[in-house]
Structure 1
Amino acid sequence: MSETNSIVARAKLFFDGVGAMTYFGIRFFKELFTSPFEGKELLRQCYLIGNRSLVLVGVTGFILGLVFTLQSRPTLLEFGASSWMPSMVSLSIVREIGPVIFALICAGKIGSGIGAELGSMKVTEQIDAMEVSGTNPFKYLVVTRILATTLMLPLLILIGDAIALFGSALIENLKGEVSYLLYFNKVFDALEFSDLIPATIKSFFFGFAIGLVGCYKGYHCSKGTVGVGEASNTAVVYTSMLLFIIDFIAVFITDIFVEI
């Protein structure tokens, strides 16, 4: 009986959290279209989020292209299909692997950072001080960060994809003596707008999820300094789960449109 009560309590807590986060997201859209608009803070957050994550995304993309090509090349050579390497790598990275991997990397970097930053402001009562001074802390702190992650993540993913393809081309040039011009000609022959558009659209949702969860966990942080660590940790865990759910829904919808 106690185990049943524990399961019910956990389920209730989970759905309470989902409801609270949904309300948090609805409030974001409400505040987004009401004045005043924090344009300077939005630009500052876009710069910070993009600049601080660019090196990490670039290094990850380069290693992703190297490893993926090195692992796939022997199998394609065994079947005499090494000429398919540029097409296979480009489609795999652009459609699925790139957006998911880079979003997970940014979830750990950006989501935890936002959760820790807002959590620290919450426990030190800086957010309460902003409310007392007449400033809207939700618009200044939350709306700008969610919008910045939504706008910057697609750009980071596109840059990461390009660097990953360069890493793959480097391996093909060294191992298979394929020129960079020939490699990228095959890449662009294989890619179509139907490959880029779904990946780009879902990357906006990835960015929104990272910003939403990170801001929610930080904005509702409690338990003092211990709560800051919990907010940062749970932001990464919840965001990672949400990214996989969004990716599944996006792939499912895309598959339906392809069949039609």
Structure 2
Amino acid sequence: MMLLRYLSQIGKYFLMWKEIFRKQTKWSVMKNLIFKEIDELIIDSLGIVAFISVFVGGVVAIQTALNLDNPLIPKNLIGYATRESVILEFSPTFISIVMAGKMGSFITSSIGSMRVTEQIDALEVMGINSLNYLVFPKLIAIILYPFVIGISMFLGVFGGYIATVYGGFGTSIDFINGVQSDFMPFHVTYAFIKTFIFGILLASVPSFHGYYMKGGALEVGKASTVAFVWTSVLIIFVNYLLTQLLLT
């Protein structure tokens, strides 16, 4: 019974994608909606992303330095390990899970509140494709999400540099040499491919749970929790698949 319910939800999710593009809202209206979503989803996320990135990058560098007990291991390994950890996993995956809580909960609660207050029904009565009106601007705004992750990568490595140099774990030259050592440009490409797909999940899964929720104000909170859980699970699952496909 539960399997049938999950299959039904998956089918409804893919039908939602079809409806999003079925009937487009006028560009004069859509343009303002897109700018509004960019401000709420992208610009408003920069602060928390910057804060987390700097300090977690510093923690990665310190933990790496504390495990270098052998004097034969070069100190530039700190910069190398920090770069690899931040680019490959921390920035694209960990930050996306954080955004599933911050960004995803906001999307679910905002759309869910419109469902509870019958604003979505009012849009349908006026002949507006409510899914296109509500979800499409979020999908367009999330195209800029890799920009957020790019900033996270830079600040994560910068946080590692600050922690290493000013914490007395290594010199500036050693850290920079480590960051430059054995650099593979495809790792950055891989990270941005993941980020783009994670962004689509961040916009679509919470929108789905908010749009199709039933009940009153209490269910809005429940829908936000469920959306966060499923978005995080899908991010981790897709991360595994992409790692197998692109790095092995």
TM-score (norm 2): 0.91
Please, which of 127, 138, 141 is the counterpart of residue 134 of structure 1? 127
Residue 146 of structure 1 contacts residue 215 of structure 1 at CA under 8 Å; is this kept in 2? no
Q: Aligned residue for 2:54?
A: 62
CA shift for structure 1 position 31? 4.1
Question: Could you tell me which residue of structure 1 aligns to residue 149 of structure 2?
Answer: 157
Aligned-pair CA distance for 1:42: 1.0
Matched, 1:96 2:89: yes
1:36 aligns with 2:29: no
In structure 1, list runs of 5 or more residues that go unmatched. Answer: 1-8
Percent identity, please.
25
Structure 1, residues 44-79: CA drift from partner, whole Å, max 9, x if none?
211211121111111110111111111111212435
For 2:80 and 2:109, locate their aligned partners in 1 and report how far apart those are by CA, in whole Å: 41
Name the CA distance, whole Å, in 1 between partners of 2:127 and 2:67.
64
> Which residue identity does 1:114 align to in structure 2?
I
| Alignment-mate amino acid for residue 36 of structure 1 | K
Aligned length: 244
1:158 Cα deviation after fit: 1.0
Alignment partner, residue 125 of structure 1: 118
Q: Distance in 2 between matches of 1:116 and 1:49?
A: 13
Q: CA deviation at 1:177?
A: 4.6
Q: Is the 1:147–1:211 contact (alpha carbons within 8 Å) kept by the matching residues of 2?
A: no
Mapped partners of 1:118, 1:160: distance in 2: 28
2:242 paired residue number: 250
**1:221 and 2:213 matched:** yes
Q: How do 1:158-177 and structure 2 match up within 5 A?
A: 158-174=150-166, 175-177=168-170
2:184 matches 1:203: no
Cα distance in 2 for partners of 1:122, 1:201 equals 33
Indicate conservation of the 8 Å contact 2:164/2:171, yes or no: yes
Distance 2:25 2:87 in 1: 38
Q: Find the counterpart in structure 2 of residue 3 from structure 1.
A: none
State how far apart, in whole Å, the 1-side matches of 2:126 and 2:18 are.
25
What TM-score comes out, normalization by structure 1 length? 0.87
In structure 2, do the counterparts of structure 1 residues 224 and 157 end up closer, same or farther at CA, with 3 Å as the change threshold? same
List gaps (5 residues or longer) in structure 2.
none
Aligned to 1:4: none
Deviations 1:212-258 (A, max 9, x none): 111001111111112211111111000000001110111011134xx
CA–CA separation in structure 1 for the residues paired with 2:182 and 2:44? 32
Tell me the residue number matched to 1:184. 176
- Aligned Cα RMSD in Å? 1.8
Structure 1 residue 178, shift from structure 2 partner: 1.5
Of residues 90, 98, 107, the one that matches 1:114 is: 107
SS at match of 2:68: helix
Per mean C-alpha deviation after superposition, the further-off stretch among 79-88 and 210-219 is 79-88
Asked if the contact 1:213/1:239 (under 8 Å) is kept, the reply is yes
* Aligned twin of 1:18: 10
| SS of equivalent residue, structure 1 residue 218 | helix
Contact 2:34 2:137 in 1 (8 A): yes
* Contact residue 65 and residue 167 of structure 1 kept, 8 A: yes
- Aligned equivalents of 1:24 and 1:85: distance in 2? 46
Q: 2:67 & 2:18 partners in 1: Cα distance?
A: 49
CA contact (8 A) 1:45 1:144 kept: yes
1:116 & 1:21 partners in 2: Cα distance?
18
